[in-house]
Amino acid sequence: MTPLLSVHGLTKTYGAQIGCADVALELHPGEVLGVVGESGSGKSTLLSCMAGHLTPDAGEVVFDTRAEGPRDVLKMSEPERRMLGRTDWAFVHQNPRDGLRMGVSAGGNVGERLMAVGARHYGEIREAATDWLARVEIAETRVDDRPSTFSGGMQQRLQIARNLVTAPRLVFMDEPTGGLDVSVQARLLDLLRGLVRDLGLSAIVVTHDLAVTRLLAHRLMVMKGGRVVEAGLTDQVLDDPQHPYTQLLVSSVLQV
Amino acid sequence: MIEIDDLSKSFTLHNQGGATIPVLDGAHLAVAPGECVALTGASGSGKSTLMRMIYGNYLARSGRILIGGLDVARAAPHEIMELRRTTLGYVSQFLRVIPRVPAVEVVAEPRLAAGVDRATALAEARALLARLNLPERLWSLSPTTFSGGEQQRVNVARGFVHPYPALVLDEPTASLDGVNRDVVLTLIEEAKTRGAAIVGIFHDIGARERVCDREIDVTGFAPARVA
């Protein structure tokens, strides 16, 4: 089975400071990979390098494209990469304001991504937008409202709808449930689990919340100081951690 | 179906002075299709550790755990995921409750993951919950607020809804009343009849005598103590 994404030797430094060093990973279709570690461990740098928001110093990010099979994304032309970012890839930001256009209606936010890939029929775009708002549990009556009038949880669900409307195969998520109330978090996690299973999505989810990874991620990668210190099945890494740092992380979680 | 050979396990506690606790050494067992084997031994002897290793939840230090031809001790994560989806089921002692997910969905999930259509998966889940006498009004609720016995029945249903060829059962009849204990034991007998290989921990001696063909005392796999 060809991996959907395979990363080798990915390295990014900020002067003398290591962002991430020699990271390798493989993601198979339908898999969700969680990336955990404390602030400054390099998990967000890694995500940004893979998603093309940062240029790494070294390494390969090979994506199994629909048309041409496996290709190193870092060697693609800028227009090619941008096309990928609008079609097969999606990026869910921690802060929905970074992923939404706050001055455009909810329906417009979802429809815009469809128009960027060539959809022109207004009725169809609106129908697809309304359908996606329903899937992320936003009432049809709010389709013409701006996201600035939405709660934080609704904004995050809208950002997910905007990202998933083009049926991407790979979704990058940066702390998708960060900054949300616990009850809202649970609702969002449940929604994401369902979408991953029903659409066969693959995703890389960066989070510092181990409980989130247990619910959402099949596999887990633990980072410290820019390096991957441990990786494996999520329940195995959480229940039988091998590396001293992972043992510390797991034992530091407060039981409720 | 399940073949364990020269398996050992120890835990290293890096944040407690690097203490190493050996748990199992040279463990071996084989379970044929249609057979149910009980693990016995005092608390702390490594029964649960062995079961978790079979499921890929704990890493082996050395040895082999062959399940349907795949060596779990060496398999890549996506191979273990596939094994759990198709071949290997696990009924733990406690249900990991997911907020907002109704009981019937919790039970149907393994079938959906195996590619069964939604309507069929839900129908099978309802049939099993009914057999386990879980009141129908609870099916659409999240098990978060269920009693211990109710949660355990959801857990058992989730483990038996898919016809796994291999099953690991950790005290499947714990916290159940007589009627439901009997239902669970019948489910185990049916699984054996269809050819499932089963390893389990049964503190309930009557249950063990009814469904288990053999007992293996894991005390025999204890590492030699260095005096």
ipTM metric: 0.91
The reply to whether residue B14 touches residue A244, judged by beta carbons under 8 angstroms, is yes
Nearest CA in chain A to B109: A197
HSE (side-chain half, CA atoms, 13 Å) at A161? 27
> For A63-96, how does the pLDDT look when each residue is reduced to its tens digit (9 = 90+)?
999 889 999 999 999 999 988 988 899 999 999 9
Question: Looking at residues B191-211, what average pLDDT do you find?
Answer: 95
Q: What is the pLDDT of residue A181?
A: 75
**Neighbouring residues of A49: CB distance < 8 A, sequence distance ≥ 6:** A10, A12, A19, A20, A55, A56, A59, A61
> For A100-136, how does the pLDDT look when each residue is reduced to its tens digit (9 = 90+)?
999 999 999 999 989 988 888 888 999 999 998 988 8
Interface test with B, best of A183, A184, A233, A248 (most B CBs within 10 A): A233
Nearest CB to A215 within list B14, B58, B98: B98
What whole-number percentage of chain B has pLDDT above 70?
Answer: 99
Q: Identify the top-confidence range among A156-170, A181-195, A242-256.
A: A156-170
Question: Looking at residues A234-241, what average pLDDT do you find?
Answer: 95
Is pLDDT above 80 for A31? yes
The reply to whether residue A233 touches residue B52, judged by beta carbons under 8 angstroms, is no
Is A30 an 8 Å CB contact of chain B? no
> For residue A231, what are the CA distances in angstroms to A33, A37, A47, B43, B63?
10, 12, 16, 30, 21
Nearest CA in chain B to A196: B113
Q: What is the pLDDT of residue B54?
A: 96
pTM value? 0.91
DSSP A241: -
Q: What is the pLDDT of residue A116?
A: 85
**Neighbouring residues of A223: CB distance < 8 A, sequence distance ≥ 6:** A20, A35, A36, A37, A41, A42, A43, A46, A229
The CA R_g of chain A, rounded to the nearest whole Å, is 18
**Neighbouring residues of B116: CB distance < 8 A, sequence distance ≥ 6:** B124
